[in-house]
Amino acid sequence: MAVLKMQRIAVCALKKNRKAILERLQALGTVEVNICLPEEEGLKKMDTAGSRSSFLKYAQMAERGLEILQIYCPKQQSMLASLAGKPLVEKEEYDSVIKSRDNLIGDIKKIIDFDKEIAENKGKLQKLDIQEESLIPWMPLSVPMNYSGTMQTAMMVGTVPGAQSQESIYELFMKSAPEVEAVDLEIISTDRDFTYLAVLCMKSDKIRVENALRSIGFAAPSQLLNKRPEEIRQGIQKERERLLAANEELTKKIAEFEKERERFQLVADYFRIRADKYEVLGQLPQSEHVFFISGFIPEKYAPSVAEELSEKYEAMVEISEPSQEEEIPVLLENNSFAGSVEGVLSSFGLPGRGDIDPSMIMSVCYVFLFGLMLSDAAYGLLVSVVCGVLIRRYPRMGQSMKKSLQLFFWCGLSTLFWGIMFGGYFGDVINVVSRTFFGHEVGIPAAWFVPLNDPMKMLIFSMLFGLIHLFLGLGIKGYMCLRDRQYMDFFCDVVLWFCLLVGLILILLPTDLFASIAQTSFLFPGWVNTLAKALAIVGAVGILLMSGRSSKNPGVRIALGAYDLYNITGWLSDVLSYSRLLALGLATGVIASVVNQMGTMLGGGIAGAILFIVVFLIGHTFNIGINLLGAYVHTCRLQYVEFFGKFYEGGGKAFHPFKENTKYVDIKEENIL
């Protein structure tokens, strides 16, 4: 359990080696670039914004091409494909693909152009659909919609609101123009909103007819076409077929690039890497012949990196200790067990300056408490087996996912242990199945006791485990005070609190109140009772007098001490928080038992067995899911609030090295982080 010590690295090298040095540092992934060099006359920085923007553009173009390929040529993946991680590509294969990057970018542009053309054709198809839909009411019309009539007659087409009969339209028309007799109103079609008309009249009456029609809501179509609706519809269908055929051909052309998918991924990662390199390049102070780079590097890697840069690139490398004012990035190094909780730890905050890495201690406590909350042997075995298989099956999965699965693997083993101690195997499924289907009840007895049968005992032990957890946190604070030679803080903030708390606990244990709750009694010798009172008094008086030691004003000092002494209620609250160990453990067992009882509603027999299997699978799947989530959340809460509250501040900044941040593949080369 360690926070890797960081050092400052400063490099001065010839500009002719700049590209090689940056690429090597990026491949090693050991240096977080943090320029901290004094400004000197003659040094300047390159403007790399344009080049970086260009590389990002190509990277995004390649990613867009891959998205289009996935749309038209989807790559079938299993539900667990996301666990597989990025494939590993040999450096030689990567370099050979990059040599043809210009051709590949040209192919990607073609794919994007094809997709754009397909989208345009789809837009045209939608427009044709709208046009065809607008023509449907006019399909019975046997003349073009813009037909104006003969030498003596005039023809008009349009709509009137609502679904109306020919008689009602004639009646409304005659009210508006009773003097017009030579008029023919023919209904072409009707729907819920409109009635579609063709009106024929004498040309001499056209104006009066138009005015009369407008008075009843007559409106001409927005577009009068010079062909019969049926002819227009046939043209639309032909155009639709042409566009569909064109899209099918374009889709085939896109599919021809499917075999280039992996090469496109390499190109996308290449330009992303170059964009990152040029971002760093733009930060470097440079003169006409040399350039400078500085940053943080873990101490364990500094000698080898410095030696390689000096010997291979004739660079001047200086390794130094960071100043006290600098914010030093944090990189943790732990074994697989302690490292499994690093994700949980980073969610709260990485160790800040002066903090220790609590991963090892936290991992033991986390796994212990998680298993106590879930506390079913079958659930624990199932979780551990699934996580173990996934870890072995997908060795290249992402580090964060791998650590999470490792954490649940260990938590599953802890759950298995506590399940055996409490006699939980899918709740009481063995007892229920044997009693219902075999007529003779058997079961596996608990190695310790059954919490459902003795909840008060479980509550007492939950608070005991919580008290140990809290004392462990206070003890770590004491270690940190001794490490930093803060002996007064160790005595006042740790020893005095231990005296007060231990004294109060020893006073509480022999009381009738505790005996009634725990169903057991303690009888201490007289000297122990005297010692308990003495410890409590010494602790309380010491806290009252010493907690405000930073103030020289006696009144303020006593007030601050009294306020700190009041924090004893916070300790009581913290201890009571561990009652969630009882609550979640009981919840798991009770729900499992209810599920088992529901499965036996039809009794024995084939029908009962079928019902039991269905209820068992659904019920226990739900139970394990909801209680895994509950155990995870509440264990985190106990770590963050109760445990960390005693000694840990966090707030550290994560170490972000200059490395090859690829999205699709990992390039096989030396990367020592």
Q: What is the pLDDT of residues 421-478, one digit of tens each?
A: 999 999 999 999 999 999 889 999 999 999 999 999 999 999 999 999 999 999 999 9
Reported as a single tens digit per residue, the pLDDT across 464-482 is 999 999 999 999 999 999 9
389 near 83, Cβ under 8 Å? no
Average of per-residue pLDDT values in the chain: 92
pLDDT at 539 over 80: yes
β-pairing, 88-90 with 666-668?
parallel
Query: Which pLDDT band holds residue 134 (cuts at 50, 70, 90)?
Result: confident
**How far apart are the two ends of the chain, measured CA to CA in Å?**
16
| Helix (H), strand (E) at residue 188 | strand 183-190
pLDDT (average), residues 341-358: 93
pLDDT over 90 percentage in the chain: 73
pLDDT at 609 over 90: yes
Which tokens hold the place of 544?
Answer: 């009252």
pLDDT of residue 223: 76
pLDDT (average), residues 334-363: 94
pLDDT over 70 percentage in the chain: 98
Query: Which pLDDT band holds residue 671 (cuts at 50, 70, 90)?
Result: low
Query: Which pLDDT band holds residue 552 (cuts at 50, 70, 90)?
Result: confident
Which tokens hold the place of 240?
Answer: 């639709």
β-pairing, 290-298 with 332-333?
unpaired
10 near 291, Cβ under 8 Å? no
Which tokens hold the place of 659?
Answer: 């490395």
Helix axes 579-599, 359-374, angle to 10 degrees: 40
pLDDT (average), residues 650-669: 91
Distance CA 662, CA 629 (A): 32
Distance CA 589, CA 583 (A): 10
pLDDT of residue 668: 82
The SS3 assignment for 493 reads: helix
Helix axes 568-577, 455-483, angle to 10 degrees: 130
Q: Of the given ranges (25-34, 340-349, 441-450, 663-672), which has the lowest mean pLDDT?
A: 663-672
pLDDT at 361 over 90: yes
339 vs 523, residue with greater confidence: 339
- Give CATH 3.30.70.2750 domain extents, the chain: 143-227
Distance CA 609, CA 341 (A): 42
pLDDT (average), residues 295-302: 95
**Which of 52, 50, 46 lies closest to 287 in space, CA to CA?**
46
pLDDT at 293 over 90: yes
pLDDT at 385 over 90: yes
**Fold that domain 143-227 belongs to in CATH:** Alpha-Beta Plaits (3.30.70)
Reported as a single tens digit per residue, the pLDDT across 485-510 is 999 999 999 999 999 999 999 999 99
pLDDT at 178 over 90: no
According to DSSP, the residues that pair with 185 across neighbouring strands are: 199
pLDDT of residue 517: 79
pLDDT at 672 over 60: no
pLDDT at 1 over 80: no
* Half-sphere exposure in the Cβ direction for 230 (13 Å, CA): 5
pLDDT at 239 over 90: yes
Residues 6+ apart with CB under 8 A from 547: 492, 493, 560, 561, 563, 564, 565
Reported as a single tens digit per residue, the pLDDT across 314-344 is 999 999 999 888 899 999 999 999 999 999 9
pLDDT of residue 167: 87
pLDDT of residue 176: 84
pLDDT at 669 over 70: no
pLDDT of residue 39: 62
pLDDT of residue 445: 94
pTM > 0.85: yes
183 near 200, Cβ under 8 Å? yes
